[in-house]
Amino acid sequence: MKKRAILSFLAVLAACAVIFGCVSTKPNPGTYSAAEKGYISDVTVTVTVDEQGKITGLEAAAEGETPKIGGEAAPKMAARIIESQRLDCDVISGATLTSKAILSAAEKALKQAGVNTAAMKAQAAGTGKDELVIVDVAVVGAGASGTAAAAAAIDGGASVLMVEKTNNIGGISKFFAGGPFAVESHLQKEAGPKYSGITKNDVLQTLNDYSHYINYAPLTKAVVFKSGDTISWLEKWGITFHVNPETPQVAHRDDDMKWTMYHWYDLFSYEPTEKAAIDVVHENLAKAGLDLRFNTTATKLLTDGSGRVTGFTAVKEDGKTLTVHAKAVVLGTGGFAGNPEMMQEYFNTPYLGLWGENGSGVKMAWEAGAAKWDTASSLLHGNGPVPPVNPTKLNLNASPFNQILRSPVMWIDQSGNRYCNEEAVWDTAYASNTGYSVGGIYYVLVDTATLEGYTAGRTLVMDTAVGGPNMAKADFIELAEEGVYQGIITKGATIAELAEKLGMEPERLTLNVNEYNTAVRTKNDPYGKSAASLVYGVERGPFYAVKMQISNLGTLGGVRVNEKLQATDTNLKPIPGLYVVGNDAAGFYGNITSYPPYEGLATGFAWNSGRIAGENAALDAKK
């Protein structure tokens, strides 16, 4: 009986531990490390805990992430975890994947220390309550398109509620967008004939032609024809603009349409700033009465018996439910580039990166009866070396070595074939488009003579976009060897040895190198590279192949819409009460993966599609 009593007591004690948490393992003080996959690389977190399991120190190493996004977010995220002592603290807006990787790695490290991580993530029970809100117009997403929709709806006299699943506004537009395109704006007219000579009709026909007429022309027309006035409208909401005296991209110098439509925010900077253009709009939206709810995730659209969208449900920060009843709903949730399953399904390669949102908005619209459309349209933009296998303090892509990566030297695909005119590097869209044609991964191939030439300052014309190359003097062979150590660059004494290390057929790579060297000698290239760029052959070893991956800044479709930005079914009949904008909306570009190389196009579509939707949603609310 005594033994049975002890066993019964132990069973009760175990149950108590499970149900009430009354028994816990004592933490082991010390320093622990763990890693988790981030946006493009592993993120390593090193955490120090005391006897009570309190986090006394935390460092997040994210050298392989995008420097101005994940790299900037890592120390901020570490500070949030230490300050809050939580593993469910807010992520850094625009760096969601890096932030989540830091949280996950921190949890792994804390578990090594015996810390009760579940207690650091549990929602505070009973601190909130379910809520019902009734408004004229409800907006999901606080990026540029959602922000424009809210502003236009307020202009139209509507009461507006906006939900944003993160703790900040702006989305991708806050970090990468220099400004929107616009046609026949007052700034272009004031800047002179080079800018004002391009008309709305010119741009509409150019975009129709670029997409081979697979775009929805009434939508493209509505956005293009609205764009000039939208500059004046955004100025009323506090944004100021300027037009550039020249293009930031080499490839656009001979085509004024590609760059003179670009209207730069006066507040834009390639370096992180305290305030972005969209912040100014939101300051004025708050004064105008916008009800903005952060850390609130929309989960399902509500419909009535006729199929009209009447609102949505959302989960609040405290885990409780927010039910919104509205006469019109605008979805601007940022597309689905952050959803690996959807990207694999629609783009057929895992090598596009995962920058962006998870597709929640497009899925909600599909469930409400909206048609799928343009699911293979994306903002492929730029490229860079793959993350290092052995990270060091040197970021190869930010070093002077990026002079090589921004130059039209020889490129090969994963089979060893040269596949394009490498002068595509001068256009951020075309550089990515060519890379997508070979699956998203390619190699920059140079020989020792090329590296010696760059060390001596004998460079080719380089890509000047996004701040341009790092022009500091350097020993390029030394930098290449650093890349070899990091696992970014593969080195071979001969072309055959290099091919074997890269898993290529030596005969194929040798044939392609020989053909390229012939083009350099004769100044006659079958892919059309100019004689000025046919300077450096691939002849003297050792040889170096830099592994590159293209960048994808977001998907550009998913939900079929009309010229009013109403979601439609497959028969083009509107889903009553539902508007879809920005990266969720299909039709403007056409179902083409190749992003058109006209500066400011995506940001211009975001602002204009949101504005058009907000205006029409406000009209809906008056019916």
pLDDT tens sequence across 523-532: 999 999 999 9
Q: Which residue has the tokens 């024809």?
A: 225
CATH of the domain at 101: 3.90.1010.20
pLDDT at 486: 97
User: How far is the C-alpha of 219 from the C-alpha of 567, rounded, in Å?
Assistant: 12
Same domain, 476 and 577: no
Same domain, 73 and 184: no
User: How far is the C-alpha of 400 from the C-alpha of 278, rounded, in Å?
Assistant: 33
In a domain, 159, yes or no: yes
In a domain, 331, yes or no: yes
Say what angle helices 601-621 and 144-155 make with each other, to 10 degrees.
Answer: 40
Q: Are strands 543-555 and 489-492 parallel, antiparallel or unpaired?
A: antiparallel
Same domain, 203 and 344: yes
Give the number of C-alpha atoms closer than 13 A to the C-alpha of residue 442, restricted to the C-beta side: 29
SS3 425: helix
Which residues contact residue 218 at a Cβ distance below 8 angstroms, ignoring those fewer than 6 apart? 562, 563
In a domain, 15, yes or no: no
In a domain, 3, yes or no: no
Cβ atoms within 10 Å, residue 389: 12
In a domain, 521, yes or no: yes
Same domain, 82 and 167: no
Among 516, 549, 582, the domain-final residue is 549
Task: Specify which residues 132 forms β-bridges with.
Answer: 323
Same domain, 385 and 373: no
Cα-atom radius of gyration of the chain, to the nearest Å? 27
Convert 3-23 to b/e letters by CB count within 10 Å (16 or more is b): eeeeeeeeeeeeeeeeeeeee
pLDDT at 15: 33
In a domain, 6, yes or no: no
Same domain, 440 and 467: yes
User: How far is the C-alpha of 326 from the C-alpha of 311, rounded, in Å?
Assistant: 5
Cβ atoms within 10 Å, residue 167: 14
Q: Which two tokens stand for residue 340?
A: 């690996």
Same domain, 342 and 372: yes
Count of the separate structural domains present in the chain? 3
Among 527, 549, 571, the domain-final residue is 549
Same domain, 597 and 535: no
pLDDT at 121: 75
Average pLDDT, the chain: 90
pLDDT at 117: 86
In a domain, 4, yes or no: no
Among 499, 521, 549, the domain-final residue is 549
pTM for this entry: 0.83
pLDDT at 14: 33
User: How far is the C-alpha of 226 from the C-alpha of 208, rounded, in Å?
Assistant: 17
Residue range of the domain that includes 35: 20-120
pLDDT at 581: 98
pLDDT in tens, 436-475: 999 999 999 999 999 999 999 999 999 998 888 999 999 9
In a domain, 96, yes or no: yes
Q: Could you list the beta-strand ranges (E) of 418-461.
A: 441-447
Element (H, E) at 242: strand 241-242
Element (H, E) at 107: helix 96-112
Same domain, 348 and 390: no
Same domain, 499 and 590: no
Phi/psi region, residue 11 (left: phi>0; alpha: psi -120 to 50; beta: rest), is alpha
180 vs 144, 227, 240, 242, 260, CA distance in Å? 10, 9, 12, 11, 11
- Residues in the chain predicted with pLDDT less than 70, given as ranges, are 1-25, 39-41, 66-69, 93-94, 122-127, 172-173, 175-176, 272-273, 354-355
Same domain, 515 and 574: no
Same domain, 356 and 464: no
Helical segments of 332-393, H only? 340-347, 360-367
pLDDT at 2: 38
User: How far is the C-alpha of 506 from the C-alpha of 479, rounded, in Å?
Assistant: 26
